[in-house]
Amino acid sequence: MRKTLLSTLCCLLAALGVKAQAPALERVEPMSWWVGMSNPNLQLVVHGNNIAARSVSLSYPGVKLKAVHKVENSNYLFVDLQVFSSAIPGTFPIKFKKAGEKDLSYNYTLNKRDKSAGKAQGVTSKDLIYLIMPDRFSNGDATNDSFDNLRERGIHRDSMFSRHGGDLQGIMNHLDYLKNLGVTAIWLTPEIENDEPHASYHGYAVTDYYKIDPRYGTNDLYKKFVEKCHSLGLKVIKDLVHNHAGTEGYLIQDIPMKSWVHQWPTYTKSNFRDAAVMDPHASPMDRKLMQDGWFDHRMADLNQNNVYVQNYLTQNHIWWVEYAGIDGFRLDTYPYNEPVYMAKWAKDVKAEFPKLSIFGETLVWSAANQAFFTQGNTVNRGFDTQLPGITDGVLKDAIYEAINGSDGWTDGVGRLYSVVAQDFLYQDATRNTIFMDNHDMSRLLSVVGEDVIKYKSAMAMLLTMRGVPQMYYGDEILMKNLSNPDGLVREDFPGGWAGDKDNKFTAEGRSKKENDAYNYVSKLANYRKITTALQTGKLMQFVPEKGIYVYFRYDAQKTVMIMFNSSDKEQETATARYFERIGDAKKARNVLTDEVIGLDKVTIPGKTTLVLELIPGVTH
C-alpha cells in the first residue's frame, strides 16, 4: 500500500521497503528523445510494479540496448540505450517480458531535432529579464484552477499561502504589456508539477519533472507559450531545482534506492552557511550539513553523487530545452549542490546547446563568495564550475547602501564603488544577473521607504549597470511590501483576475503615481534596448566625491554618463575630472526628460540618478 512519506528520515528509510502499488508499467522517463544529440547515451527510468522481474528487449535500427540496471527497489529498472546518429526518427516498442505473464510494451519515440536559430538562443547583457510567479500574475483560464486528483484543491486568494489561480494563459494574455515595458526575457518560477498538500504554488518542490503543473496548463501549452514569446522577440528562462524535490513525487514516495536522497538518522536541516563550502578551515560536518541537509521537511535533498540521480536530472533539463526551445536556465540554491556534478552538468548541457545561458542563485554575503562559484575560478577547487554567471545579490545590497546609507569610505556610495571594483574576481562580470528584488525578499519600493525618488535612482542604476538586469513583476507599478511571514511580496498583479477592482495592466487602471513609475521604467528600458553602450559597452567608474558617484557606459556608438547624488540635498558638481570619458563633449541629453544640458557643471537633485547621453564630440 502506498505510504505518504513523513517528515523524518526514519520514515523515509521505512518507505523504501514499502512497494508502491503502481501499474505494472506506470511510466518511462524521458518519455521521448531525439536523434542527433551530442551525447548518444540515454538512460531510461522505468517504473512499475515489480518491473525488475522482467527482461527488456528492443529492435530498432540505430538504437542499441547497452545495459539494464536493477536497483534496491524492484519497482525500477534503469535502462541504458545508445542512439546513433544513423537512427531515423520514429517510434518503436520496448518490450518487458516475464515468463507466464503478459508482455508489457512501451512505444518509444525518437524525434528529429529542431535546430532553428530562434531556439535556445541564450539570454545576455543585451536583455532585460522580468521575473513572474505564474500563480500570482494572471488567471487566463479558470477551468484549470483546481483538480480533484491533486492534494491542494481550489483557489483561495485571501490566503498568501494558497493557490490563487494564475497560469500560463494569463501570462500569454499580457505579453504585449511586457514587450511595451521594454522586457526582452521572461523568467518564470518553476512551472512543473508541485503536488504538495500546502503552499506549493511557488514551484520549488517538484513532484513530476516531466509535467507542467495542470493548474498552469499543459506541456503543449508551455511549448506554445515559448513559441509565442519568441514570435514577439521575448526569450524564456526556465527555473531549475537540482538540490531538492517535493516529497510527494513518485521518486520519493517509492524511492529507487536509499542513496537517491541524503539520509540522516532524524530530520536534519541545512545550516545554510555557504562559507563552509569554500572555507579551507571548515569542519567537514559543517560542509556536509550545508550541502546534504534538507531545505525543508517537504523538500527531500537529492544525492547528486548518485549517478542515477545525475543522469535523471541532466536528461530532464536537456529534454525541456529540446522540447520547448527555452533560452536559458536559472539554477535555484546553487551553493547547496554537489559542485563536481554541477560542473559536469553544465558541460553536458552546453555540449547540446552552446548558446543557452545559465546563471546560478548565490544569495551570499560578499563578491568573493559569489565569484567562488563562477566559471574560471579553479583555485583550491581543482576543476572549473562551468557556471557563466550568478545572481549578484552583493551588488543589490551595495546599491541599497548607496541609496539608503550615509556617505563613508566603505559606506554609502563608497560601498557601491568598492563592490564594482571587485569585478576582477569574475571571469566576466557582465554575465552576472543584477536585480533589486525577487520573490524571496522585500520589494524595492519598501526597501527605499516608499520614496519614489530613491526608487527611480535604483531603477536607473539597475538598467545602466554592467550585467543582465532582472526586475520582479509589479515593480514597475510600485508594488510594495517587506519580506515577512505573511508573504505579501507575492501578491497578485492587480487586473490579472476577472473582477479585480483595478487593472494595472492599463494606463487607465493605474494611479498618476503608478503611471509615472511605469513610464520611467519603460522609457529607460526601451532606451536600453536600442543602446548598445548599456548592453555590451565598457564601464568606467570614478571614486565618489562628496557623496556623488559617477560611472560611464560607452562603446563606439555612444557614451552614457550616470551620476548619482547620495545626499538629501541638491548638489552642483563640476565635471572636469571626468575628462577621460567626456572628452570634448559640451552637452548631454537627459535620457528620461529629453532635456539638453551643459556639461561644464551639472546640478543633481538629492537622492537622484541622472542618465545622460553625451552629445557627440571628440572623446578619448
Summarised one tens digit per residue, pLDDT across range 85-109 is 999 999 999 999 999 999 999 999 9
Angle CA 146–149–155, to nearest 5: 20
Give whole-number Cα distances, 403 to 396, 397, 398, 516, 549, in Å.
11, 10, 9, 20, 11
Which residue among the candidates 135, 274, 332, 348 is catalytic per the annotation?
332
Give catalytic status of residue 208 as yes or no: no
Give first-to-last CA distance, the chain, whole Å: 76
What the block records as the C-alpha cell of 285 is: 560536518
39-82 pLDDT, tens digit per residue, is 999 999 999 999 999 999 999 999 999 999 999 999 999 999 99
Which SS3 state, helix, strand or coil, does residue 320 take?
helix
Residue 370 · residue 361 · CB < 8 Å: no
Per-residue model confidence (pLDDT) at position 27: 97
What's the whole-number mean pLDDT along residues 208-227? 98
Work out the pLDDT band at 21, boundaries 50, 70, 90: low
Give catalytic status of residue 361 as yes or no: yes
Which residue among the candidates 195, 361, 492, 613 is catalytic per the annotation?
361
Q: Which residue has the cell 476577472?
A: 498
For helices 307-324 and 219-231, give the axis angle rounded to 10 degrees: 50
Would you give the DSSP letter of residue 125? T
DSSP track, 452-491: HHHHHHHHHHHTTSSSEEEEETTGGGT-----STT-GGGP
Q: Which residue has the cell 512543473?
A: 192
402-456 pLDDT, tens digit per residue, is 999 998 888 999 999 999 999 999 999 999 999 999 999 999 999 999 999 999 9
Cα–Cα distance, 73 to 266 (Å, whole number): 22
Lowest-pLDDT choice from 15-19, 145-149, 263-267, 363-367: 15-19
Structural domains in the chain, CATH included, are: 9-112 (2.60.40.10), 129-530 (3.20.20.80), 538-614 (2.60.40.1180)
Per-residue model confidence (pLDDT) at position 273: 95
Alpha helices in 325-405 (DSSP H): 339-352, 367-372, 393-404
Mean pLDDT of the chain: 95
pTM of the model: 0.95
What the block records as the C-alpha cell of 515 is: 503611471
Q: Which residue has the cell 525618488?
A: 453
Cα–Cα distance, 97 to 109 (Å, whole number): 20
> Which of 309, 332, 334 minimizes the C-alpha distance to 249?
309
Give whole-number Cα distances, 360 to 151, 172, 382, in Å.
31, 26, 20
What's the whole-number mean pLDDT along residues 370-399? 93
Burial class (CB in 10 A: 0-12, 13-18, 19+), 268: middle
